[in-house]
C-alpha cells in the first residue's frame, strides 16, 4: 500500500463516519473546533492531519482511531450486518407506525361519519314528527 492509498482510506473513512452520523461538514468541524475549509481539505485529500488530530476525530466520531485506517471492505461483516439490520429495523418501525397512525385516524373519521349520519337521520325523523 502506498502512502497516497493510506491517506485515501483515512479521508474516505472520516467522511464515511461523518455522513453515517448525519453531520454536515459544518457540524463536524464545529465539534472538532476546526474550520469547515480545513475539514473539507482533509476529506478531499488536500491536507493531512496529525496523529493527535486522528485521535480527536475518532473520539468525536465515537470510534477507535485504528478504525480510520481500515479499508471499508475490511470492516467486520458482523458490524456491516448489524448496521444493515439496524437500518431495516428503523424502516420497519417507521412503516408500522405510519400504518398504525393511518388506521387510528381512519377509525376516528369513520366513527365521526357514523355519528353525523345517525344525528342526521335522527334529526330528520324529529322534523317529520313535528309536522
The per-residue pLDDT string of the chain (131 residues; one tens digit each, 9 = 90 and over) reads 888 888 899 999 999 999 888 899 999 999 999 999 999 999 998 999 999 999 999 999 999 999 999 887 655 556 666 666 677 777 778 888 888 888 888 888 888 888 877 777 776 555 455 55
One domain, residues 65 and 99: no
What element of type H or E holds 102?
A: helix 77-130
Written as nine digits, the cell of 71 is: 479499508
Instruction: Report the CATH number at residue 14.
Output: 1.10.260.40
One domain, residues 69 and 84: no
One domain, residues 28 and 69: yes
One domain, residues 22 and 54: yes
One domain, residues 60 and 83: no
One domain, residues 14 and 68: yes
Rounded to whole angstroms, what are the CA distances from 130 to 2, 118, 120, 122, 127?
97, 19, 16, 13, 5
Condensed to tens digits (0 to 9), the pLDDT of residues 79-112 reads 666 666 677 777 778 888 888 888 888 888 888 8
What gap in Å lies between CA 76 and CA 64, rounded to an integer? 14
One domain, residues 64 and 110: no
Please count the structural domains in the chain. Answer: 2
One domain, residues 69 and 102: no
- Domain containing 124 equals 76-131
Domain finish residue from 38, 54, 74: 74
Provide DSSP, 75-97: S-HHHHHHHHHHHHHHHHHHHHH
Phi, psi of 107 (to 5 degrees): -65, -40
Among candidates 37, 57, 5, 21, which has minimal Cα distance to 49? 57
- What is the reported pTM? 0.55
Amino acid at each position: 500500500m502506498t502512502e497516497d492509498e493510506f491517506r485515501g482510506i483515512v479521508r474516505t473513512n472520516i467522511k464515511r463516519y461523518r455522513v453515517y452520523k448525519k453531520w454536515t461538514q459544518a457540524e463536524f468541524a464545529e465539534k472538532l473546533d476546526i474550520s469547515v475549509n480545513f475539514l473539507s481539505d482533509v476529506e478531499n485529500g488536500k491536507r493531512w492531519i496529525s496523529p493527535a488530530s486522528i485521535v480527536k476525530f475518532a473520539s468525536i466520531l465515537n470510534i477507535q482511531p485504528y478504525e480510520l485506517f481500515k479499508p471499508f471492505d475490511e470492516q467486520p461483516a458482523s458490524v456491516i450486518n448489524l448496521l444493515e439490520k439496524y437500518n431495516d429495523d428503523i424502516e420497519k418501525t417507521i412503516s408500522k407506525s405510519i400504518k398504525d397512525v393511518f388506521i387510528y385516524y381512519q377509525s376516528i373519521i369513520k366513527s365521526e361519519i357514523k355519528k353525523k349520519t345517525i344525528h342526521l337521520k335522527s334529526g330528520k325523523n324529529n322534523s317529520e314528527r313535528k309536522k
